Amino acid sequence: MAVKRSIVQTARAQIGKTYKWGGASPSEGFDCSGLVWWVYRRHGIDVPRVPWQQNRVGVPVVRSRIQAGDIVIFKIPGQGKTLHTGVYSGNGYSFIHSPKSGHSVREESMEKNYWRKYYIGARRVIR
């Protein structure tokens, strides 16, 4: 459980970093999957770099059983962007993610209508 909390802390420490398509570091900025990849990698855990592969890593977790540190996945329509990933923070259905161009890494509720509408699942990499 300590590793999961540490993963969430590492993700939270990136709040405010700029979104950058293809970005995967604090210095250049992050896209959604780059943030997930970088956070896990800081803890010695290898996850794929792109969202569709992150959607297949580890084991699936039903929404009612998500734990802090799990990867959450959303299917966003339009603009060529299909999957969006983030790190579940365990803070009342909140997650940390890098949303889109012009925005920065943030923590927000998965209970917002937008995120509820596009949520498709979660993956557990750490047991």
Residues identified as active-site: 32, 84, 97
Q: What is the CATH number of domain 2-124?
A: 3.90.1720.10
What whole-number distance in Å separates Cα of residue 86 and Cα of residue 94? Answer: 10
Quote the CA–CA distance of 14 and 63 in Å, as a whole number.
25
Q: Looking at residue 6, what is its pLDDT? A: 93
Cβ atoms of 36 and 53 within 8 Å: the answer is: no
Residue 126: its pLDDT value, please? 83
In the predicted model, is pLDDT for residue 80 greater than 80?
Answer: no
Tell me the whole-structure pTM to 2 decimals. 0.94
Q: Give Cα 13 distance to the centre of its chain.
A: 14
Domain ranges of the chain: 2-124
Report CA-CA distances (Å) from 32 to 53, 83, 92.
13, 9, 21
Taking residues 74-80, what's their average pLDDT?
80
Check if the beta carbon of residue 85 is closer than 8 Å to that of residue 11: no
Residue-wise pLDDT tens digits, 12-63: 999 999 999 999 999 999 999 999 999 999 999 999 999 999 999 999 999 9
